[in-house]
Structure 1
Amino acid sequence: MRPTQTLLGGGADIPLGKHNHYLGGWGAFGGMPQKGIVTYGVAPNRQKPLAGAMHDAIFNTWRRFSSQVLYFAPPMIAGYYLMNWAIERNHYLNSKAGRV
């Protein structure tokens, strides 16, 4: 025979648990362990998502830059000197001395 709510001490408005056992009031300790309760936490490596980001950004940027600089620096330097020569040549040819 199953005990009634009054015999369990819970009154008529407190529901029974999954297996017809009174689980206790909110925050009551010492009752039967409740099943299906999920707790969430934050992993230690996720508590500070930007920890060390500035340090890593500086050194990672330098590593990537130094590995690629020989691919883009020589053409940039050659282009700069070529444009500088062309501008100076244009100024000379459009000057009084260049027209003579």
Structure 2
Amino acid sequence: MHPICSEPTINTAPQRAFPKNYFTKGIPNTWRRFRSQVFRVAPPFVLAYVVYTWGNEEFERLKRKNAADFENDE
């Protein structure tokens, strides 16, 4: 029978929702993967945050009127 048309089978190997070696291997592996990728992923987000906050501060600054422009008004 063609593999695309084959009927689904049930996997006989049991799957664990919470593996036995989660604390001994899983958490350290997650930490290792995080450390290896943080300097590749974080800088664009930091740059985006800096640009976003600068843009909001600049917008608020430009919304205000300059008091020096109105010193000679009565």
Please indicate the TM-score interval, normalised by the length of the shorter structure: 0.5 to 0.7
**Aligned residue-pair number:** 52
Aligned residue in 2 for 1:65: 34
Please give the secondary structure, in 1, of the residue aligned with 2:19: coil
Unaligned runs of 5+ in 1: 1-45
Counterpart residue type for residue 71 of structure 1: R
Distance 1:94 1:67 in 2: 43
> Larger radius of gyration, structure 1 or 2?
1
Q: Which runs of 5+ in 2 are unaligned?
A: 1-14, 70-74
Question: What's the C-alpha RMSD, in Å, of the aligned pairs?
Answer: 2.4
TM-score (norm 2): 0.57
Say whether residues 1:81 and 2:50 are aligned partners: yes
TM-score (norm 1): 0.44
**Displaced runs of 4+ in structure 1, greater than 4 A?**
none
Deviations along 1:27-86, one digit per CA (max 9) or x if unpaired, are xxxxxxxxxxxxxxxxxxx9xx72121342211111111111111111111111111100
* 1:54 matched residue in structure 2: 23
How many percent of aligned residue pairs carry the same amino acid? Answer: 35
